[in-house]
């Protein structure tokens, strides 16, 4: 007799259809129960934008006479890696995706023999079948093809894109190994040899049309089975509870003989006190406090009506009218509402750059009716900090290392506790009538402290030792004589310290734990960049260049904000099997934050650049986890690949449904109204001299009030001027080369005299044409252009074109290995043109030398993307309690782009070009 097979027929969730521009194999990063792709693509290593760096030569605003050979070589390696990845991705796509792996594995030969020897009566359903009408009402998809005479048709049916075993009838109980199991029981389920048993919650018992005895279950995921994977369990700076599991919506059908035993799993609500939680966990085999979904690698709160229920059914539907309350494992009520909404939330911008991310978040939140008070910002780049101060003068901007900032926060909390500022009424001390103000003359060479004006942690005097320091204003001296002094040398000025701490606490010069609503930031992970020749694949966290990700999470753990939003390059999901992206998720989940990961394309939110970036939401258990906003625009692909194992994290429209989005933007939409400038343009302020020609241009010219940016408060508007419309000045040789590049689509160094295209589309010098030289004596066509990418590249001295988009806005403006030339002017794109491609409003003025301005713009988060995320964040923040909606995506409203920016068809109109001082 052939033993019954225990390999389940899985009912897989229908994957969201990928957009046309994605060329990636579907393989979500979710442990054992997932799609697996055939073949492994070599990760692409794009050139990462350098984060918070400072040019050594601030006066060098001219393109270098010769490109850096090392940079060219590394860029060439980068291009080769990208080409290889694209090829392997394409090959993987042709192979197709394997079906999801069965949760209960087919038994081994020994197990099959044991089952064959066992009596059929050992494993069977208990009691009478469920009434047919009741079964059909609760599981209609099981019976859609029941009456067909064709056994090939009746064995499997499809419902909502899912393949399911058809049923003859349903039951409420089954007996396996002489133990009775009921609907709603949590059980261990046999896994493959050498693997831990799987864990599931029984949602159905049914007899299939093949007369097999089946059960369906919702899977619990251990931490190691999620996107976090077992590798992250070995990271030393955080740990996960072995008893913690996550309930998913994912279901599968399995033979009942694969059930091993019951397991006691307790639900712990987010508002359970720590001591009560510890007692609950101690009494249980396992516990869960969140759900897990492979889509967007989401760890989130449980829907109130779904805890302990079978799938989407309520507990009252569990078993044919039986009272299921005795089996309910809900220990605490669902999350209590967050604090009463005041319409204002505080925000800390870490690794802020020039402030693009927080600017966009504030704009988007304001559209939903929530005001974000961008209270604090931190960055290492002094020019970026200066830009942020200029555009957001009410923000406390600190130019320092993030790790020093964390130490400062810890020292600041200690000072606040030491001086009991939490209970102080801050009343100024006045002299009584009986007291006399006596000034004691100081000895020669002694200086007296007047007051403290600032505080920092670090080594401002370059002594070689970090510590807490105060900036001192000395009596009888002006601010030019202020100096940084260590705290140890100021112990004899306790009143000055107390006054500074009380004043600083009152003015919130630094955030304290629990006093921050939102932390956003993009910690640099330059250790994953293709420009880093010594990347550490085996242990990326030992690379000093990746440590800022750890620091970011340490600050989050210290301050415990309600919400976290982290941005980073997509390479954190590619390099070393996405180790750094998994680490970020792991840290948040270990800190008991909800988390959701997504990749967003800037072009999908109204920009003429592709630019894919990774975003990670975090939310405390008592608040609502934000969703990702669906695209508002179509996007033109520029070759960036979706990380294979995170393809389900791409925020995109379902192509099976009507997109209903705006057309993709091109360079003409963003740049056609800007004044013509030459290679040398010394003025950082100039007039427009033309009207806006597109809706994008009308919008980007709006003033702060129309943009819902209150950074300058109620200042009086003035006529707007155009800032930073300056190109990096090309040196004489490069300018002479650029002037000879034809003004046509696709033009580049290949169009220069003496170059021809040979076999395999590789360039070579034309032997029939003598080599042409510049007035300086250097060759018109440099050797590095001919050899870049082994002669196959089109990028050196390449022109962009008005009906195209760019892949991503870069931080360097040299044309030696990238297409960055203006379509019809002999220069590179200006800082303002790059800023427009990133969605910066025209009123946003940048500080520093031109090279530094390019770096600030290139490193920034695209403002329209941040604005869409800000709307999502405000929506979640204002929501008083979780309503059970676990969908990871939502559609932005129709008025997301202000009506003031809309142009009547066929009419360019006048711009709302006013600006606040």
Q: Annotated catalytic sites, by residue?
A: 525
Interacting residues of 582 by C-beta distance below 8 A, sequence separation 6+: 29, 227, 228, 229, 231, 232
How far from chain centre, in Å, is Cα 578? 13
| Positions of E strands within 177-285 | 179-182, 186-189, 198-208, 213-222, 244-255, 259-262, 265-267
Cβ(204)–Cβ(218) under 8 Å? Answer: no
Residues 744, 78 contacting (CB under 8 angstroms): no
State how far the alpha carbon of 601 is from the alpha carbons of 289, 605, 607, 608, 655, in Å: 32, 8, 9, 11, 16
Contacts of 457 by beta carbon, 8 Å cutoff, 6+ apart: 400, 404, 405, 407, 408, 411, 466, 467, 468, 469
Spatial contact of 587 and 553, defined as CB atoms under 8 Å apart: yes
DSSP 291-329: EEETGGGEEEPPPGGGTTSSTTS-GGGSSTT---GGG--
Task: Write out the E strands in 725-860.
Answer: 755-757, 763-765
Q: Which residues make Cβ contacts (< 8 Å) with residue 85, sequence separation at least 6? A: 41, 42, 43, 44, 641
| CA 733 to chain centroid | 42
Name the helix (H) or strand (E) containing 506. Answer: helix 494-507
- R_g (Cα) of the chain, nearest Å: 32
- Strands 286-293 and 244-255 turn out to be parallel
The Cβ-side half-sphere exposure at 135, using a 13 Å CA radius, reads 20
Q: Please state, in angstroms and rounded to a whole number, the distance separating the CA atoms of residues 117 and 771.
A: 87
Kindly tell me the sign of the dihedral angle through the C-alpha atoms of 502, 506, 510, 512: positive
Q: Is the dihedral of CA 535, 540, 545, 549 positive or negative?
A: positive
* Separation CA 815–CA 797 (nearest Å): 5
Extract the tokens encoding 645. Answer: 């194992």
- Cα separation, 454 vs 697, whole angstroms: 42
- Measuring CA to CA, which residue among 226, 284, 241 is closest to residue 591? 241
What does the DSSP 8-state code read for residue 37? B
| Residue 577 to residue 575: CA distance in whole angstroms | 6
Cα gap 691→656, rounded to integer Å: 40
**How buried is 138 (Cβ within 10 angstroms: 0-12 exposed, 13-18 middle, 19+ buried)?**
middle
Write out the DSSP string of 48-60. PPPPS---S-TT-
Among residues 57, 216, 313, 80, the alpha carbon closest in space to that of 788 is found at 80
Alpha helices in 740-799 (DSSP H): 783-787
Packing angle between helix 863-878 and helix 356-368, nearest 10 degrees? 50
């Amino acid at each position: 007799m052939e033993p019954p097979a225990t390999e389940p027929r899985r009912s897989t969730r229908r994957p969201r259809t990928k957009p046309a521009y994605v060329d990636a194999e579907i393989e979500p990063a979710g442990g054992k129960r997932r799609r697996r792709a055939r073949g492994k693509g070599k990760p692409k290593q794009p050139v990462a934008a350098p984060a918070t760096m400072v040019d050594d030569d601030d006066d060098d605003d001219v393109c270098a006479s010769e490109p850096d050979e090392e940079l060219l070589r590394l860029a060439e390696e980068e291009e080769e890696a990208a080409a290889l990845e694209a090829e392997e991705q394409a090959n993987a796509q042709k192979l197709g995706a394997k079906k999801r792996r069965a949760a209960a594995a087919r038994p081994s030969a020994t197990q099959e023999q044991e089952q064959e020897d066992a009596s059929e009566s050992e494993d069977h359903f208990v009691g009478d079948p469920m009434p047919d009408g009741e079964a059909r009402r609760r599981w209609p998809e099981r019976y859609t093809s029941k009456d067909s005479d064709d056994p090939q048709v009746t064995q499997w049916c499809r419902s909502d894109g899912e393949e399911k075993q058809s049923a003859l009838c349903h039951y409420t109980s089954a007996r396996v190994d002489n133990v009775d199991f009921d609907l709603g029981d949590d059980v261990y389920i046999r896994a493959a040899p050498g693997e831990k048993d799987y864990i599931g919650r029984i949602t159905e018992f049914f007899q299939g049309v093949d007369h097999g005895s089946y059960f369906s279950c919702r899977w619990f995921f251990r931490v190691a089975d999620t996107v976090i994977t077992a590798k992250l369990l070995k990271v030393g700076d955080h740990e996960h509870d072995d008893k913690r599991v996550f309930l998913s919506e994912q279901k599968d059908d399995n033979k009942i003989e694969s059930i091993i035993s019951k397991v006691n799993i307790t639900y712990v609500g987010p508002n359970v006190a720590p001591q009560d939680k510890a007692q609950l966990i101690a009494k249980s085999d396992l516990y869960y406090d969140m759900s897990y979904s492979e889509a967007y690698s989401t760890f989130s709160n449980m829907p109130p009506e779904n805890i302990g229920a079978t799938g989407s059914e309520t507990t009252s539907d569990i078993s044919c009218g039986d009272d299921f309350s005795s089996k309910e494992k809900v220990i605490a009520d669902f999350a209590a509402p967050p604090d009463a909404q005041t319409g204002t939330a505080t925000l800390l911008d870490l690794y802020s750059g020039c402030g693009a991310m927080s600017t966009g978040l504030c704009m988007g939140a304001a559209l939903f009716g929530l005001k974000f008070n961008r209270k604090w910002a931190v960055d290492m780049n002094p020019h970026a900090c200066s830009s942020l101060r200029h555009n957001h003068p009410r923000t406390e901007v600190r130019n320092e290392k993030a790790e020093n900032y964390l130490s400062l926060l810890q020292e600041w909390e200690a000072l606040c506790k030491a001086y009991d500022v939490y209970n102080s009424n801050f009343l100024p001390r006045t002299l009584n009538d009986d007291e006399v103000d006596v000034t004691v003359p100081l000895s020669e060479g002694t200086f007296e402290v007047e007051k403290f004006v600032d505080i920092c942690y670090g080594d401002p005097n370059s002594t070689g030792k970090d510590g807490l320091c105060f900036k001192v204003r000395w009596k009888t001296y002006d601010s030019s004589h202020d100096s940084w002094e260590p705290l140890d040398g100021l112990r004899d000025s306790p009143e000055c310290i107390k006054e500074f701490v009380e004043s600083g606490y009152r003015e919130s010069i630094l955030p304290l734990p629990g006093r921050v609503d939102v932390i956003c930031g993009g910690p640099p992970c330059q250790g994953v960049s293709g420009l880093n020749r010594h990347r550490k694949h085996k242990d990326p966290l030992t690379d000093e260049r990746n440590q800022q990700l750890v620091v970011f999470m340490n600050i989050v753990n210290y301050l415990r904000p309600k919400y976290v939003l982290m941005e980073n390059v997509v390479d954190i999901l590619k390099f070393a099997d996405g180790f750094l992206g998994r680490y970020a998720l792991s840290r948040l989940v270990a800190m008991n934050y909800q988390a959701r990961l997504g990749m967003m394309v800037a072009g999908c939110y109204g920009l003429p650049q592709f630019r894919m970036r990774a975003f990670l939401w975090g939310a405390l258990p008592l608040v609502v986890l934000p969703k990702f906003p669906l695209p508002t625009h179509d996007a033109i692909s520029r070759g960036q690949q979706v990380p294979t194992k995170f393809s389900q994290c791409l925020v995109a429209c379902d192509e099976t449904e009507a997109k209903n989005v705006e057309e993709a933007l091109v360079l003409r939409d963003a740049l056609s109204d800007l004044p013509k400038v030459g290679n040398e343009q010394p003025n950082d302020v100039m007039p427009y001299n033309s009207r806006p020609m597109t809706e994008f241009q009308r919008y980007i010219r709006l003033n702060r009030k129309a943009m819902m940016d209150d950074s300058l408060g109620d200042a009086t508007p003035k006529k707007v001027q155009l800032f930073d419309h300056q190109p990096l000045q090309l040196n004489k040789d490069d300018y002479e080369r650029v002037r000879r590049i034809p003004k046509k689509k696709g033009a580049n160094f290949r169009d220069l005299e003496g170059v021809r295209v040979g076999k395999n589309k590789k360039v070579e010098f034309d032997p029939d044409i003598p080599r042409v030289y510049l007035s300086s004596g250097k060759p018109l066509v440099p050797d590095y252009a001919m050899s870049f990418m082994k002669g196959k590249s089109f990028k050196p001295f390449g022109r962009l074109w008005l009906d195209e988009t760019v892949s991503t806005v870069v931080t360097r403006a040299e044309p030696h290995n990238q297409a960055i030339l203006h379509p019809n002017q002999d220069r590179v794109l200006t800082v303002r043109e790059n800023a427009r491609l990133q969605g910066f409003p025209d009123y946003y003025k940048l500080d520093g030398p031109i090279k530094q301005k390019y770096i600030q713009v290139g490193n920034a988060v695209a403002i329209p993307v941040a604005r869409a995320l800000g709307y999502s964040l405000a929506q979640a923040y204002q929501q008083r309690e979780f309503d059970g909606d676990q969908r990871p995506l939502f559609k932005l409203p129709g008025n997301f782009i202000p009506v003031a920016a809309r142009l009547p068809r066929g009419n360019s109109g006048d711009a709302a070009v006013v600006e606040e001082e």
